Amino acid sequence: MAKLIIITGATRGLGRALVSAFSRGGHTIIGCGRSDGGVRALRDNFPAPHAFAQVDVTDAEAVRKWSLNVLSKFGPPDLLINNAALMNTPAPLWEVPTDEFGSIIDVNVKGVFHVIRAFVPAMVKRKSGVIVNLSSGWGRSTSPEVAPYCATKFAVEGLTLALAQELPPGMAAIPLNPGIIDTDMLRQAWEEGASSYRKPDEWAKQAAPFLLNLSAKDNGRPMTVC
């Protein structure tokens, strides 16, 4: 059965790979990204019924307006994937610039909150739907020089598990560790070793059916795409 799927950070990396995988399965994807060129490319490659918009998830009002447009045209999503995220330039915590730390918090934590606040009330009213917030192995463990990123992903884990306790029966909120994939983000943190891991499109072939099979029975369960 075809599903309506919302993905943030859809213009590159894991988000872009999921758009391709879900579309091949006949699902309708509503996506957003900050890059105008990336959004235009998505529109060209994935025309209607899919829909893509240039939205900065750190802008609460922009997210609200986007959600009103999406909900009026499509209704609540069956699957909401908070994927948009930033990685810090590797450095000891005391050397991380204040503005860089703030940007990572704004995208990785506040962005998730803004999207949840904009879309989840309609899902709650319908009493169905799955919310997946992408976490990380660094949301369940730590490494040196990525403390800001670890902090945000630990926050995503806690936020999601608390949200899971607030949802009505029939819904689910799940923090998802996608595993280690050769993305621009991984290369930023670990340039020398990133190429030894699978590419986003290969990952999405496994991840897309995994995500589609999530349901209310998985509510509040931290999960990993192996």
Locate tokens 């025309």: which residue?
Answer: 47
User: What SS3 class is residue 170?
Assistant: coil
Instruction: For 190, list phi and psi in degrees, rounded to 5.
Output: -155, 70
Instruction: For 5, list phi and psi in degrees, rounded to 5.
Output: -125, 130
Q: Is 149 noted as a catalytic residue in this protein?
A: yes
Adjacent-strand bridge partners of 5: 29, 79
Of the candidates 105, 133, 102, the residue with the CA atom closest to the CA atom of residue 9: 133
Q: Which of 52, 66, 138, 149 is catalytic?
A: 149
Give the pair of three-digit tokens for residue 120. 């989840």
Q: Catalytic positions, please? A: 149
